[in-house]
Amino acid sequence: MTKKTKLQDKMFAEMQDKTLFKKAENYAFDYLNKVFDRHIFPTEEALKDLSKFEEPMPEKTGDGEQIIDLLHQYGSPAVVPYIGGRYFGFVNGSMIPASLAAKNLTIYWDQNAAMQVMSPIIGKLEIIVQNWLVDLFGLPKNTVAGFVSGTSMANLSALVAARYRILKNKGWDVTEQGLFGAPKIRVVTHKHIHSSILKAISLAGFGKGNIEVVDCDTQGRIIPSAMPEIDNNTILILQAGNVSSGAFDDFATICKKAKEKGAWIHIDGAFGLWAGATKRLKHLTKEFEYANSYAVDGHKTLNTPYDSGIILCQDEEALVSALHTSASYLISTEAREGMYYTPEMSKRARVVELWAALKYLGKEGVDEMVYGMHERAKQFATAFEKMDGFTVINEVVFNQIIIQCETDEMTTAVMHKVQELRDCWAGGAIWEGRQVIRISVCSWATTEADIERSAASFEEAYELVQEAMATV
| 425 secondary structure, DSSP code | B
pLDDT digits (tens, 9 = 90+) for 5-61: 999 999 999 999 999 999 999 999 999 999 998 899 999 999 999 999 999 999 999
Query: Quick one: average pLDDT of 153-169?
Result: 97
For 239, which DSSP code?
Answer: E
Residue by residue, DSSP assigns 343-382 as S-SS---THHHHHHHHHHHHHHHHHHHHHHHHHHHHHHHH
Q: What is the pLDDT of residues 277-331, one digit of tens each?
A: 999 999 999 999 999 999 999 999 999 999 999 999 999 999 999 998 765 445 5
Report d(CA 152, CA 310) in Å as an integer.
10
Q: Which residue type, as a one-letter code, is found at position 367?
A: D
Average pLDDT over residues 164-190: 95
DSSP character at residue 216:
B
Rg (C-alpha) for the chain, rounded Å, is 24
Q: Residues 9, 12, 17, 21: what is their CA dihedral angle, to the nearest 10 degrees?
A: 120
Render pLDDT for 186-244 as a digit per residue (tens, 0 to 9).
999 999 999 999 999 999 999 999 999 999 999 999 999 999 999 999 999 999 999 99
**The residue type at 216:** C
Q: Is the pTM of this model over 0.85?
A: yes
What pLDDT is stored for residue 332 in this prediction? Answer: 57
pLDDT at position 336, please? 86
Between strands 234-239 and 264-268, the pairing is: parallel
Sheet holding 391-392: strands in order across?
391-392, 400-404, 434-440, 427-431
Residue 110 and residue 125: Cα distance in Å, rounded?
Answer: 15
